[in-house]
Amino acid sequence: MDEFLQLFTFAFFKKALLAALFTSISAGITGTYIVARRIVFISGGITHASFGGIGLAFLLGFNPLAGAALFAVFTAFGIQFFSDKIQIREDSSIAIWWSLGMALGVIFVFLTPGYTPNLMSYLFGNILTVRTGELWAMLVLLLLLAAFFIRWFREILYIAFDEEFARASGIPVRFFNYGVMTLIALVMVMNIRAVGIILILSLMTVPQATANLFTRDFRKMMFLSVAFAFGGTFTGLIISYFLNIPSGPAIIFTLILVFGLCKLYLPCSSLRKELRTQRKPM
C-alpha cells in the first residue's frame, strides 16, 4: 500500500495520470460519435496513416507528433473527399490512405540517416513518458473538442444517427463531417502517447461498447464511456508499473477485461432478478 501511495509523489506518474484523464475524456466523446456513426474503420485508417507523418518527422528532424497530426488531418480530409467528390467507396478510400500512410512511414524511417529510430512508444504507446508540453496540447484540444460538441450537440447527434434527415433539416452536413473528422484525427494523434498507433482503435471503441451495454442514450453513453475509459486507463497504468510491462497493451487489456466482465454480469444479473421474481409468493 505504501508503494502504491508513493506513486502519486512521482512527477512522471502525475503527468501520466493527467494524460490518462485528458485521453479518457477526449476518447470518450469522439469514440461515442465514431461508434454511433459506425465509422470505426475510418478512424483506424486515420491513425495508421499518421505513421507516415511520424516517419517524415524523423527524416526532417521535427516533432513526430506534429508530423502525425499533419498526416492524420490530411488523411481525414482525403477519405472524406474521395468519398464525397470522387465517388470512391468509403472502404476503398480508407484502404488507400491507410496503406499509403504506413508505406510512406516505413520509407521515411528507412531514409532517416544514422541509427534507426525506436518506434515502440509510437506503435504501442508509453503514457509514463508524456511531456509537459504534450499535456498542454491535450488540454487545449480537449477544451476545443468539448466546446465544439456542446455548441453543436443537436446537429452532431442528428448526423450521427441519420445523415439524410440531418441534410433534409438544413444542417450543413459537409461542414460538420469535415470538422468532426479533423477533431477525431487530432484526438487520435494526441492519444498515441497513451496506447500507440496499433492499439488506439481499441481505446476509441471498447469503452463505448461497454457503455452501450448499459444505455442507448447518446449523452449518457458519452459520460459512461469517459468513466470506463479512465477506469481502464488508470488500472492499466498501475498494472504496467508494478508488473513492468508496456503501458499501452496493459491499458487495452484492462479495458477489454472490463468489457468482458460487464458482458457476463448483465445476463447473470437479469437471471437473478428473474429467479427472485419467480420465488415471490403469489
Q: Write down the mean pLDDT value for the chain.
A: 83
Report residue 243's pLDDT band, with 50, 70 and 90 as the boundaries.
confident
Percent of the chain with pLDDT over 70: 90
Over the stretch 188-199, which tens digit does the pLDDT of each residue have? 888 887 778 877
Whole-angstrom Cα distance, residue 191 to residue 125? 8
Residue 224, classified by CB atoms within 10 Å of its CB into exposed (0-12), middle (13-18) or buried (19+), is buried
Per residue in 79-88, pLDDT tens?
777 776 766 7
Give the count of alpha carbons within 13 A of 30, CB side only.
Answer: 35
| Under 8 Å between Cβ of 23 and 243 | no
Q: Are 141 and 26 in contact (CB under 8 A)?
A: yes
CB 125 within 8 A of CB 246: yes
Question: Distances from the Cα of 72 to the Cαs of 68, 80, 119, 126, 185, in angstroms?
Answer: 6, 12, 17, 20, 5
Domain 2-197 CATH superfamily: ABC transporter involved in vitamin B12 uptake, BtuC (1.10.3470.10)
Nearest to 228 by CA among 195, 256, 247: 256
Give residue 271's pLDDT band: very low, low, confident or very high (50, 70, 90).
Answer: very low
Place of cell 512508444: 121
- The DSSP 8-state label assigned to residue 86 in this structure reads S
Here the cell at position 97 is 490512405
Sequence spans of domains, the chain? 2-197
Going by pLDDT thresholds of 50, 70 and 90, the confidence category of residue 276 is low
The dihedral through the CA atoms of 70, 27, 17, 234 has a sign that is negative
Flag whether pLDDT at 278 surpasses 60: no
Candidate from 32-41, 147-156, 216-225 with smallest mean pLDDT? 32-41
DSSP 1: -
At 269, the pLDDT band (50, 70, 90 cuts) reads low
Q: What is the pLDDT of residue 124?
A: 78
Residue 1 has pLDDT above 90, yes or no: no
**Residue 31 zone, left/alpha/beta (φ > 0; ψ -120 to 50; rest):** alpha
C-alpha cell at 204: 476509441
Average pLDDT over residues 244-269: 84
Give this prediction's pTM. Answer: 0.84
Residue range 164-170: average pLDDT? 85
Per-residue pLDDT at 275: 42
C-alpha dist (Å) from residue 90 to 18, 41, 159:
36, 10, 17
CA gap 236, 164 in Å, rounded:
40
Could you give the CA distance from residue 99 to residue 58 in angstroms, rounded to a whole number?
19
Average pLDDT over residues 92-117: 84
Flag whether pLDDT at 57 surpasses 70: yes
Determine the Cα–Cα distance for residues 271 and 276; give it in Å rounded to an integer.
9
Instruction: Single out the residue of 49, 61, 69, 53 nearest to residue 191, CA to CA.
Output: 69
Nearest to 125 by CA among 257, 3, 255, 260: 255
Please tell me which residue, 94 or 236, carries the higher pLDDT value: 236
Question: Rounded to whole angstroms, how far apart are CA atoms 148 and 152?
Answer: 6
Cα–Cα distance, 252 to 224 (Å, whole number): 17
